[in-house]
């Protein structure tokens, strides 16, 4: 059902490589990826369905370079070119060829102005068997950033300023240390903090923190190694829309003068189903992403590298909530 000729560049990534595409409706993203990531999504769906809920919905894969896909269309050509550029970049590191793309739920869909924060997880960012030069490079960045001290760093973010998006690239997040990374969180959540009543702001921050804790709790019970995965936090950057989602317009039940007939009950059930499919606007999304170096590892115990990072993100959220309510 996905017509490759209609794909366009996804301009709204918070971090990562170029070459991500989106479908015309904006519901899906198409991300060039390694075989490891495809396998991880497929295996998770099959064997770890609870964890799959913490990831973007996985719609399938798209093969690159296959004759059927090699239509003479700009988007596809760009796709293949970007993918080649990515391959070239990766030659110094992993040698995994990237021939496929994954089709995922676009976590920014349904928002008016999605603010996006990509938090890269772990103090160690490479799997066993990584080329020594790449491992050394990643360890050096770790030692100079909160990656080393807190097992996470801000990989990138995008914040609506009322007129346009302010973008913060990978170098922004590398400047923080364990003491001042809270300023990065304050900057990301500034729209929410200034735009909402104190109690509403605290409630939404607590809800987002609870989602992070949910991911951590899942990983405490599982055996995995996820190197360089991220937790992606999205919230509504359009203040008016966010206010509506939080406090405004409680869903008042319609008054009924007489008991509904069977037909009317059936009809309202149908309406509810239709509403479910329509996906109401959302205030936030929190999901784990980027499984290029992730595997399930039964017998190896839990992934402390990632769990510690998630705990420290929860601590940052706690501190921010105290600042907001205090
Ligand atoms: P990589 O870092 O290897 O390029 P990622 O999976 O981290 O790949 O994706 C890069 C960026 O694309 C992320 O920082 C995020 O902003 C965006 N992104 C990735 N997956 C999704 C998704 N399912 N929905 C929305 N945005 C996404
Ligand atoms: Mn990434």
- Choosing from 80, 105, 130, the residue where a domain stops is 105
What pLDDT, on a 0 to 100 scale, did the predictor assign at position 250? 42
Assigned token pair, 214: 């949910």
Residue 172 lies in a domain: yes
Q: Tens of pLDDT along 55-88? A: 999 999 987 655 334 332 334 334 434 444 444 4
Give the residue among 100, 121, 113 at the shortest CA–CA distance from 232: 121
Model-level pTM?
Answer: 0.84
pLDDT tens for residues 211-253?
999 999 999 999 999 999 999 999 999 999 999 999 764 433 4
Higher pLDDT, 97 or 38: 38
DSSP 90-127: HTTS------EEEEEE-TTTT-SSEEEEEEEE-S--S-
Last residue in a domain, options 45, 76, 105 = 105
* DSSP character at residue 232: E
Q: Which of 109, 118, 155, 287 to mutate to test the pocket of ligand 1 (most atoms within 8 A of CB)?
A: 118
The answer to whether residue 262 is domain-embedded is no
**Residue 108 near ligand 1, beta carbon < 6 Å:** yes
Is any ligand 1 atom within 6 A of the Cβ of residue 324? no
| Lookup: tokens for 95 | 């040698």
As a whole-number percent, the residues of the chain with pLDDT over 70 amount to 79
Same domain as 231, residue 121: yes
Give the pLDDT confidence score for residue 263 in this predicted structure: 58
Range of the structural domain that residue 92 is part of: 4-105
**pLDDT band, very low/low/confident/very high, at 261 (cuts 50, 70, 90):** low
pLDDT at 284: 97
Per-residue pLDDT tens digits for 314-323: 999 999 999 9
How many domains would you assign to the chain? 2
pLDDT range class, residue 277, cuts 50, 70, 90: low
């Amino acid at each position: 059902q996905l017509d490759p000729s209609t794909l366009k560049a996804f301009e709204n990534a918070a971090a990562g490589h170029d070459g991500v595409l989106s479908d015309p409706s904006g519901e899906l993203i198409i991300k060039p990826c390694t075989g490891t990531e495809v396998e991880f999504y497929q295996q998770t769906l099959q064997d770890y369905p609870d964890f799959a809920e913490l990831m973007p919905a996985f719609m399938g894969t798209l093969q690159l370079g296959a004759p059927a896909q090699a239509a003479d269309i700009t988007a596809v050509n760009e796709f293949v070119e970007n993918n080649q550029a990515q391959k070239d970049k990766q030659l110094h590191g992993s040698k995994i060829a990237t021939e496929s793309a994954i089709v995922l739920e676009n976590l920014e869909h349904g928002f008016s102005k999605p603010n996006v924060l990509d938090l890269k997880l772990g103090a160690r960012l490479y799997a066993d068997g990584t080329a020594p030069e790449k491992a050394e490079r990643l360890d050096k960045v770790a030692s100079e950033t909160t990656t080393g001290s807190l097992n996470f760093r801000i990989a990138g973010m995008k914040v609506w300023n009322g007129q346009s998006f302010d973008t913060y690239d990978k170098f922004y997040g590398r400047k923080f240390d364990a003491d001042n990374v809270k300023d990065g969180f304050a900057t990301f959540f500034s729209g929410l903090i200034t735009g909402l009543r104190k109690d509403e702001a605290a409630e939404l921050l607590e809800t987002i923190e609870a989602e992070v804790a949910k991911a951590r709790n899942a990983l405490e019970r599982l055996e995995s190694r996820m190197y360089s995965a991220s937790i992606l936090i999205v919230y509504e950057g359009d203040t008016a829309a966010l206010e509506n989602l939080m406090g405004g317009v409680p869903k008042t039940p319609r008054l009924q003068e007489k008991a509904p007939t069977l037909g009317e009950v059936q009809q309202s059930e149908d309406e509810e189903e239709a509403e479910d499919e329509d996906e109401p606007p959302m205030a936030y999304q929190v999901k784990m992403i980027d499984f290029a170096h992730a595997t399930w590892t039964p017998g190896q115990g839990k992934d402390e590298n990632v769990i510690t990072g998630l705990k420290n993100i929860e601590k940052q959220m706690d501190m921010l909530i105290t600042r907001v309510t205090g």
